[in-house]
Structure 1
């Protein structure tokens, strides 16, 4: 079947004055307008297209890919606000609509907002919502401690930064685990640090414990290579200086340096760390 808001792989059925019609394995058809038709094609060729509703509420296909698909989260720019709601730039000719009732805060033209794209069952239209928390559920977790996860930065709190975990769950990175600047909408990798009572997820950037030594050691090595084999850091350096250069805690820095020293890849002197020639 042809699914609105997702990428569909369809076959070319026939050519018309307005474009080419594509068909799925259930004989459902959708128009690909002329502006998206490839220069050369054959009947029954397969195309990957995104399907949504045009300005007349008819299904239409496009080879352009939007910034967000159905069921996904993305940071989008508000282009305009009307009496009905806000219209967001999602990379397609027709803008993505966000009703007033789906706005966590009143949107303004030119502003950027983290939204979830979903199918409104009443209108059968793709719409956006900045009330992202209502699309997350921690009642039945699909992750456990030490799992590597995909993160989207959601919004700050007094104790850290809230994140979306695997597009399904809510999580929190505590302030003392943040060693780089984070902005709403950032997509990065993380690890489940702990599952608390009530299925609350503590999340860490990168990896934790002994699993964190190798990546941090590689980070130190890369920084040494980028700086002619020298880093002006020692175990007496301030946590702020280490964070500024390496985006890691002093504790993890000392573990990484210890690993590299045991592997005889570095030399530690009073003025800093030197990369040994191999």
Structure 2
């Protein structure tokens, strides 16, 4: 058995002029010649992506699509028909979004967030813009402080509505965003809080001490790029700190405090100074 719409590691069972056939437990799946790695021989095991070609037969490729079944990704519409839109997802054959699976209608050249899934009627890989029906916060395998993958889905009045691990929803609040982000951005973050109603608040970056460690590295880099001195300290305006460091004043104070304890910086009346190494 093979997993359609996903990567499979399959054995080469037959060599032909136009490619190789891979073991699927039946007659084999063709990997066209242009995708066969040089030096491939019978018995080799290859990692391939499996999907349906235009006539409905399963086919293998070593190309890497923008996503696999279950993923939510940002794709560009390359053509639109009365029946639906074709999206570029990095393979020879574009992925189809039926008209009924679009939210407001798609236009060529524009990008849209879609979920890749297997259509129950055709058994083929398809995509839908109606992703929210696949998201659920009823049963949460995640807990507070867990690191997660975040996908920025839309902007709200209080922040950004994000998709967590392609399964759940959360909010990244405006007052905790210290960098430019856009719809479709994929970010690393962590669960800040799970509320009683299972609504989730998230933050970008790593939790706890790891987060401070990341920011200390940034402070050190900026010091080295500015001759070992920066005119910022715990008395600086929070907006000035955010503008220069892209971090909150609280995080800045934690990072510089950590560096001070390590004797890597000193505080001056006007800023912070890098300690010269012996």
Shorter-chain TM-score bucket reads over 0.9
Q: Cα offset for 1:128? A: 0.9
Distance in 1 (CA, whole Å) between partners of 2:222 and 2:124 is 49
Q: 1:121 to 1:272 in 2, by over 3 A?
A: same
Distance in 1 (CA, whole Å) between partners of 2:253 and 2:144 is 24
Distance in 2 (CA, whole Å) between partners of 1:138 and 1:70 is 20
Name the Cα RMSD after superposition.
1.6
Q: Work out whether residues 243 and 250 of structure 1, in 8 Å CA contact, stay in contact via their aligned partners in 2.
A: yes
- Map Cα deviations across residues 149-176 of structure 1 (whole Å, 9 max, x no partner): 1111111111100111112111111111
Distance in 1 (CA, whole Å) between partners of 2:270 and 2:259 is 17
Partner of 2:226: 227
Q: Work out whether residues 4 and 50 of structure 2, in 8 Å CA contact, stay in contact via their aligned partners in 1.
A: yes
Partner of 1:4: 4
Q: How does 1:158-237 map to 2 (within 5 A)?
A: 158-207=157-206, 212-237=211-236
Q: 1:103 to 1:268 in 2, by over 3 A?
A: same
Mean CA deviation greater in 208-217 or 124-133: 208-217
Unaligned runs of 5+ in 1: none
Q: Work out whether residues 2 and 28 of structure 1, in 8 Å CA contact, stay in contact via their aligned partners in 2.
A: no
- Map Cα deviations across residues 125-158 of structure 1 (whole Å, 9 max, x no partner): 1111122211111110011111111111111111
Q: 1:259 to 1:99 in 2, by over 3 A?
A: same
Superposed structure 1 runs of 4+ greater than 6 Å apart? none
Partner of 1:34: 33
Q: How does 1:57-68 map to 2 (within 5 A)?
A: 57-68=56-67
Distance in 2 (CA, whole Å) between partners of 1:42 and 1:137 is 45
Distance in 2 (CA, whole Å) between partners of 1:234 and 1:86 is 53
What's the TM-score, normalizing by structure 2? Answer: 0.94
Partner of 2:96: 97
Q: Work out whether residues 193 and 204 of structure 1, in 8 Å CA contact, stay in contact via their aligned partners in 2.
A: yes
Q: Cα offset for 1:83? A: 1.1
In the alignment, structure 1 residue 119 sits paired with structure 2 residue 113: no
Distance in 1 (CA, whole Å) between partners of 2:54 and 2:270 is 66
Q: Secondary structure of 1:258's match?
A: helix
Q: Cα offset for 1:44? A: 1.0
Partner of 2:155: 156
Q: Work out whether residues 89 and 96 of structure 1, in 8 Å CA contact, stay in contact via their aligned partners in 2.
A: yes
Q: Work out whether residues 161 and 175 of structure 1, in 8 Å CA contact, stay in contact via their aligned partners in 2.
A: yes
Q: Cα offset for 1:105? A: 2.5
Partner of 1:263: 262
Q: Work out whether residues 151 and 186 of structure 2, in 8 Å CA contact, stay in contact via their aligned partners in 1.
A: yes
Distance in 2 (CA, whole Å) between partners of 1:135 and 1:28 is 34
Q: Cα offset for 1:211? A: 5.7
Partner of 2:51: 52
Mean CA deviation greater in 84-93 or 222-231: 222-231
Unaligned runs of 5+ in 2: none
Distance in 1 (CA, whole Å) between partners of 2:23 and 2:211 is 49
Distance in 1 (CA, whole Å) between partners of 2:139 and 2:166 is 14
In the alignment, structure 1 residue 16 sits paired with structure 2 residue 20: no
Distance in 2 (CA, whole Å) between partners of 1:38 and 1:235 is 57
